[in-house]
Amino acid sequence: MALASWPEMSESEHFVQFCETDAFLVSSVSKFISTALIAGDAGIILATQPHRESIEERLRADGQVFEVTRKQGKYIALDAATVLSQIMVDGYLDATRFNEVIGGIIRQAAKSGCHVRVFGELVALLWADSKRAEAIRLEELWNELARTQAFSLFCAYPMQGFDGEGYEAEFAEICRQHGRVIPTESYTALTGTDERLLAIALLQQKGNSLAAEVAERRRIEAALQESEAHFRFMTEEFISMASHELNTPLTSLIGYTHLLQYRLKKLGDEESLRFLATINKQLDRLTRLINDMLDISRAQQGKLSYQEEFFDLDALVRETLENLQARTFTHQLLLEGSTTAHVYGDRERIGQVLINLVSNAIKFSPAADKVIVRLSEEGDNAVVSAQDFGIGIAEHHHSHIFERFYQATEPATRTYPGLGIGLYISGEIIKRHRGRIWVESQKDEGSTFSFSLPVNLQ
């Protein structure tokens, strides 16, 4: 039934109108309030400024004299957002404030003994702000107030606010809170019974089709999620098994190379020792790769282990650089700056991050002869940076460089081996320590990788 055909209303009427356009809403509210004013009753509008102005313009066109009705206290227009702020505390509706503010407005309008009609846009504002539970709670508060005060309430919601999935239960609850539910103008504009029956039948068919489509899509999504979860599990299991299987022969190889190295030194076979040093270097690289693969599997499962304690960050950096320098003959590793930082975390894992950054700096600056590591403090954080003077990284790679298996695919970097997991693991370790890791770089101008850690965090 169209709103325009309702000149008579009960003492306590609470209905909702779903709208497709602002123009229809303004027209409906204008007729609702106009009927009250013509009958000598009171009208209250709690709406946004554009809607208030449009409604009043329509009322003036209908011949309403606002100066008289306002002086009589029979026409009250207030800003919906302002009223809403007066009845909410910390983002939630307060029943006491609602009764004081809204109840007071209605009592003021009803002083002359006339019936009161209210248009409230508060629920629509809450819904648009994604405060859906509060919108339904406000409907309940209106109903509770109606038990002690007589008034007719017109609520309205834009129908587009219910587009998409997930609104069915809330939509049904909104309808349940109202004595009457008025569909949108595309339905109320239909005048004949046959037209309306046809529209209902078409809507039912469309609803059934959509429900079937949603059910099928959810079934497919559930199957895909199950497949993805199974694939991830199998992948992680394979990585874990393969890494453990590779570690066994690798440990034996390392043991035999150490034994050979000891014997060759006694024999003074320098040429064979050089060959053996190359083998050892490759075995070290393979060991790091296997450990990285194990770490990435553990990180994905949330099982990356940490042994946390307070430790001297500067001492860790110095010790790590000394160990790396002993194995590095192409670059000089320089340390600049210092801190007084004692950080709380896993000393070995933070050392792993630094080894990764410095090793990358060496690998990606083959034409340079030094890497600079800097220590500094910024506020409550200690910062460690590793600067190289190598090929650099184009800016469009920066936001992805710490992703799993990501590698910059510039032609110049394709000759550098690696799986793109070291920086991912480093990022996970720093994240676990509530720190931050980032890169500053330009192509052909070197790179600076940095990470920060909170100081004295327990």
**Secondary structure class of 80 (helix, strand, coil):** helix
Which strand (E) or helix (H) includes residue 309?
Answer: strand 308-312
Radius of gyration of the chain measured on its C-alpha atoms: 36
> Is the dihedral angle over the CA atoms 169, 174, 175, 177 positive or is it negative?
positive
Whole-model pTM? 0.47
DSSP per residue, 105-144 = HHHHHTTTS--EEEEE-HHHHHHHTT-HHHHHHHHHHHHH
Residue 182 main-chain phi, psi, to 5 deg: -110, 120
**Of 304, 319, 392, 398, which is closest to residue 351 (Cα–Cα)?**
319
pLDDT at 435: 94
What is the torsion angle, in degrees rounded to the nearest 10, for the CA atoms of residue 340, residue 315, residue 448 and residue 348? Answer: -120
| Rounded Cα gap, residues 152 and 120, in angstroms | 11
Q: Which residues pair with 93 in a beta bridge?
A: 88
DSSP 439: E
Give the per-residue pLDDT at 117: 93
Return the ∠ at Cα 139 (arms to 46 and 160), rounded to 5°: 75
Count Cα atoms within 13 angstroms, Cβ side, for 353: 33
User: Is the CB of residue 301 less than 8 Å from the CB of residue 234?
Assistant: no
pLDDT score of 122: 95
Phi/psi at 383 (nearest 5 deg)?
A: -120, 130
Structural contact between residues 388 and 442, judged by C-beta atoms closer than 8 angstroms: no
For residues 372 and 297, give the distance between their C-alpha atoms in angstroms, rounded to a whole number.
32
Rounded to whole angstroms, the Cα distance separating 412 from 410 reads: 5
- What are the angstrom distances between the C-alpha of 317 and each of 64, 98, 447? 81, 61, 19
Residues in the chain: 458
The amino acid at 332: Q
User: Residue 6's pLDDT is what?
Assistant: 47
pLDDT along the chain (458 residues), means of 10: 47 84 91 86 92 89 68 87 93 93 92 87 93 94 92 92 79 89 80 72 68 74 76 64 66 78 81 81 74 65 74 95 90 94 91 92 92 94 95 87 70 53 86 92 92 77
**DSSP secondary structure letter of residue 62:** T
Q: How many CA atoms lie within 13 A of 200 on its CB side?
A: 8
Could you give the CA distance from residue 136 to residue 126 in angstroms, rounded to a whole number?
9
Contacts 24+ apart (CB under 8 A), 455-458: 455/341, 455/342, 455/343, 455/377, 455/380, 455/381, 455/382, 456/342, 456/343, 456/344, 456/380, 457/343, 457/344, 458/344
Interatomic CA distance for residues 229 and 301, integer angstroms: 12
